[in-house]
């Protein structure tokens, strides 16, 4: 009987110990299910009820806090998990990444430095430390990105960082080398595609830049920067219709930019679509808040190409009002008047006005302008004045004879 009694006592003690373990295990399972379903707040409550606390439960609580954005609590529980198991590489890695997110860069530097010491051949640890160094303006950052790449040529983020570094140095061949290496493993990496487009754009190889920016659009990456690169590249390649297409899209991002309207107007002029050019010149002029002599001058010339002399005269006068010392505008005004008016005296008055301002005596207001243009204009004006005076005199003689 005594033997049975002691056996009962032993079994009772064992069952007493097993029951809490089963209860604990059951609580962890419930907490894990809640965590997997994204019910992080209730998962945290379950994990906190587990006793004793373990590296695992603290790590899960940290992850749950990170998921709901309570980063300070997450950092606290990552720290607790590491206190229990200082060799927990996963906890250290996640802790270090969250330190970067929360801008605790000195601590993050220390964490990833320690991980690299233990695992020097882990490319991602090298990359993360490179990030920290870059943020801290430490020039050694590129060394860690290079280490990551050397350990794993397919490491996309390192390929991008190295390519970007060489782009800033205008080491164009190196950009192509590293970006293409990355793309050989994943050809839809938009960061590397963009880098290659920018690389050729900076080299002024616009024809080679265009396909990369078009591919970004195909991958549904659409933004103002990409459209601007395409618009400018097509413009530089004299593909005016394509340039107009993308400049037009840019207006959706910046419809108050006078330079954009002015560029579109110039392109329409290049394609001899003067009506559209005039529309965009007018919008540009309305938006501009500085001296508009150049814009008015170009708009006047646009009307001149259509032989709309009245409008050409109107806007050339506006140009002169903005900049009265422009001998080009004064000369063109005389030419327009000559073509528009029938009365030789009226025509003569415009040429005379030019000579009064810019002819014969040296005019200090234009002394910095090219003498070749001044001499050329003056010669033409003098010749036309002589012709008009003869015409007027001839008209007088005919009138008197009658």
pLDDT digit string, tens, across residues 260-280: 999 999 999 999 999 999 999
DSSP 34-49: HHHTT-HHHHHHHHHT
Neighbours of 143 (CB within 10 A): 14
Which runs of consecutive H residues, i.e. helices, occur in 271-308? 274-287, 293-305
pLDDT at 12: 42
Helix (H, G, I), strand (E, B) or coil at 138: coil
Helix (H, G, I), strand (E, B) or coil at 370: coil
Helix (H, G, I), strand (E, B) or coil at 228: helix
Pick from 145-159, 318-332, 360-374: least confident? 360-374
Cis amide leading into 52 (omega within 30): yes
Confidence category of residue 16, pLDDT binned at 50, 70, 90 = very low
Pick from 111-125, 195-209, 234-248, 385-399: least confident? 385-399
Pick from 17-26, 342-351, 358-367: least confident? 17-26
User: Which CA distances in Å does 13 have to 21, 22, 52, 92, 346?
Assistant: 13, 15, 19, 39, 123
Pick from 181-185, 331-335, 389-393: least confident? 389-393
| All residues at 6 or more sequence positions from 134 whose CB lies less than 8 Å from its CB, including other chains | 141, 161
pLDDT over threshold 60, residue 243: yes
Helix (H, G, I), strand (E, B) or coil at 326: coil
pLDDT over threshold 70, residue 2: no
Helix (H, G, I), strand (E, B) or coil at 367: coil
pLDDT over threshold 80, residue 365: no
The residue whose two tokens read 């049975």 is: 4
Q: Is the pTM of this model over 0.85?
A: no
Q: Residue 332: which H helix or E strand, with range?
A: helix 327-340
pLDDT at 376: 87
Confidence category of residue 359, pLDDT binned at 50, 70, 90 = confident
Q: Where are the domains of the chain?
A: 325-396
pLDDT digits (tens, 9 = 90+) for 163-175: 999 999 999 999 9
What angle in degrees, to the nearest 10, is found between the helix axes of 344-358 and 371-401?
Answer: 150
User: Which CA distances in Å does 284 have to 98, 233, 292, 297?
Assistant: 49, 22, 10, 13
Identify whether the C-beta of residue 93 lies closer than 8 Å to the C-beta of residue 125.
yes
pLDDT over threshold 80, residue 10: no
Confidence category of residue 401, pLDDT binned at 50, 70, 90 = low
| All residues at 6 or more sequence positions from 240 whose CB lies less than 8 Å from its CB, including other chains | 234, 267, 270, 271
Which runs of consecutive H residues, i.e. helices, occur in 85-205? 89-101, 105-118, 123-135, 141-151, 156-168, 172-185, 190-202
What angle in degrees, to the nearest 10, is found between the helix axes of 293-305 and 327-340?
Answer: 30
pLDDT over threshold 50, residue 293: yes
pLDDT over threshold 80, residue 189: yes
Confidence category of residue 402, pLDDT binned at 50, 70, 90 = low
Region 185-198: what's the mean pLDDT? 98
pLDDT digits (tens, 9 = 90+) for 115-135: 999 999 999 999 999 999 999
Query: Average per-residue pLDDT in the chain?
Result: 90
Helix (H, G, I), strand (E, B) or coil at 397: helix
Q: Residue 54: which H helix or E strand, with range?
A: none
Q: 220: alpha, beta or left, given left = phi > 0 and alpha = psi -120 to 50?
A: left
63/75 Cα distance (integer angstroms): 9
Identify whether the C-beta of residue 195 lies closer than 8 Å to the C-beta of residue 157.
no
pLDDT at 400: 64
pLDDT at 288: 79
Q: Which two tokens stand for residue 74?
A: 């997450």
Which is higher by pLDDT, 371 or 32? 32
358/364 Cα distance (integer angstroms): 10
Q: Which two tokens stand for residue 2?
A: 């005594």
Name the nearest CA neighbour of 229 among 213, 241, 249: 213
Confidence category of residue 364, pLDDT binned at 50, 70, 90 = very low
92/108 Cα distance (integer angstroms): 10
Helix (H, G, I), strand (E, B) or coil at 196: helix
Residue 324: alpha-carbon gap to chain centroid: 39
Pick from 13-17, 301-305, 358-362, 389-393: least confident? 13-17
Which is higher by pLDDT, 307 or 394? 307
Q: 272: alpha, beta or left, given left = phi > 0 and alpha = psi -120 to 50?
A: left
């Amino acid at each position: 009987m005594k033997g049975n009694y002691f056996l009962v006592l032993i079994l009772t003690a064992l069952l007493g110990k097993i029951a809490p373990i089963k209860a604990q295990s059951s609580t962890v399972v419930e907490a894990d299910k809640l965590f997997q379903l994204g019910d992080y707040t209730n998962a945290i409550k379950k994990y906190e009820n587990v006793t004793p606390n373990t590296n695992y439960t603290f790590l899960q609580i940290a992850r749950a806090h990170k998921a709901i954005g309570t980063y300070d609590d997450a950092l606290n529980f990552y720290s607790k998990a590491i206190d229990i198991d200082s060799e927990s590489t996963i906890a250290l890695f996640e802790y270090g990444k969250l330190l970067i997110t929360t801008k605790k860069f000195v601590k993050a530097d220390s964490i990833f430095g320690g991980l690299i010491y233990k695992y020097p051949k882990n490319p991602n640890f090298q990359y993360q430390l490179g990030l920290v160094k870059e943020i801290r303006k430490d020039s050694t950052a590129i060394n860690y990105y290079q280490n990551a790449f050397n350990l794993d040529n397919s490491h996309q983020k390192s390929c991008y960082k190295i390519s970007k570094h060489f782009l800033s140095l205008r080491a164009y061949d190196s950009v192509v080398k590293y970006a293409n290496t990355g793309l050989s493993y994943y050809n839809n990496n938009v960061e590397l595609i963009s880098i290659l487009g920018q690389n050729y754009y900076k080299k002024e190889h616009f024809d080679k830049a265009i396909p990369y920016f078009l591919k970004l659009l195909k991958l549904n990456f659409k933004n103002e920067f990409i459209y601007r690169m395409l618009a400018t590249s097509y413009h530089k390649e004299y593909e005016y219709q394509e340039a107009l297409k993308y400049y037009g899209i840019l207006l959706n991002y910046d419809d108050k930019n006078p330079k954009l309207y002015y560029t579109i107007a110039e392109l329409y002029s290049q394609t001899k679509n003067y009506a559209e050019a005039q529309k965009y010149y007018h919008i540009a002029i309305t938006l501009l808040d500085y001296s508009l002599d150049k814009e008015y001058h170009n708009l006047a010339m646009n009307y001149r190409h259509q032989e709309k002399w009245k409008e050409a005269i109107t806007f050339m006068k506006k140009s002169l009002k903005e900049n009265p010392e422009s001998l080009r505008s004064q000369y063109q005004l005389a030419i327009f008047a000559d073509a528009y008016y029938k009365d030789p005296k009226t025509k003569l008055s415009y040429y005379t006005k030019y000579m009064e301002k810019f002819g014969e005596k040296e005019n200090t207001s234009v002394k910095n302008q090219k003498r070749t243009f001044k001499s050329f204009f003056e010669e033409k004006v003098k010749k036309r004045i002589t012709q008009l005076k003869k015409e007027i005199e001839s008209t007088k003689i005919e009138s008197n004879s009658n």
